[in-house]
Structure formats: C-alpha cells, structure tokens
Amino acid sequence: MTNATLKHSLGQLKKQGIRITPQREVILDYLITHHNHPDVETIRDGIEDKLPNLSVATIYNTLRMLVDNGLVIELPNNDGGIRYDYFGVPHYHAICENCGKIIDIFDDDYPELVKHVQQTTRDKTDFLVTGTQLEVTGICPDCQRKLHLAKLSNK
C-alpha cells in the first residue's frame, strides 16, 4: 500500500509539472510511512541514513512545495513550532492540550462534514474558502490518567 501511495503522490506532482528529485521522494516517503506528525528536525533525523548531506533548507523547501500542492498539511504545535502530516487520505485530528499529541481520525463521513463546514462558512460570511483542516482539542487518555493520578496524590 505504501509504495502505491508514494507512486500515486509522485504522479500527482508530475502532473502539476513538478520535478521529482531523490530528496523530494525520500521526504514524501518518510511522511507517508511515519504517522508521528514530525517536525523538520525529526524528518531530518529520520532520513539522515538515506540522505546524510541533506540541508535543513532543502527539507523546508520540499515541505513548502508539498503543502502548496495539497499532499501535506502543517500542524502548529504547543511550542510555536510546526509539525507535518501526509494528507493524501483526508482525515482530521484530535490534539491533546496538555502534551501536544496529535492523533489521526479517519472517518467515512469526513468529506460530507468538510462540505457542510465550508458551505455554512460561505453562506454566513461570503468567505472564499480555500481549504479546511478540522481539529478537535482535549486531553488524551495518557494525560487524563496522569492528571487523575496527580489529583489523587495531592489529596
């Protein structure tokens, strides 16, 4: 599946006239195969064995191109940085307000939900909608347990 996903995504880029370089292919492959919503440093560390001399600037430029072409989305995190997520399969995110963990939520109703949100936005504001990212925020199960344990120990 992953190889087919990579080939499909590279084909989309080629159709848009974008040259496929080894660097672009490795970075895209990393994002497709790693669902950890990495930042640039994590991506660099994860591909260092394949491209040891790759500059951080090249990674940033590649990510910008992938975002601009709709294959990757940017996810701001708690510390002001940005994480990246392959978005070839549309989904939304549950984000922990405590630890910053991001969980992908795949839902068959997602396309209809996005259409509804976009249409409602257009109808109520005349806003020209150019994209939609849905996020649900809250406290993840791990943090809920930790917070509960902390409350118990303070009693």
Check the annotation: does 140 bind a ligand. Answer: yes
Categorise residue 70: left if φ over 0, alpha if ψ from -120 to 50, beta otherwise: left
Residue carrying structure tokens 């939609």: 132
Decide if 92 contacts 110 (C-beta within 8 A): yes
**Which of 114, 89, 110 is closest to 9 using CA atoms?**
89
Check the annotation: does 143 bind a ligand. Answer: yes
Ordered alpha helix ranges (H), the chain: 2-15, 22-33, 40-47, 56-68, 110-125, 141-153
Residues of each annotated binding site: 96, 99, 140, 143
Residues of each annotated binding site for Zn(2+): 96, 99, 140, 143
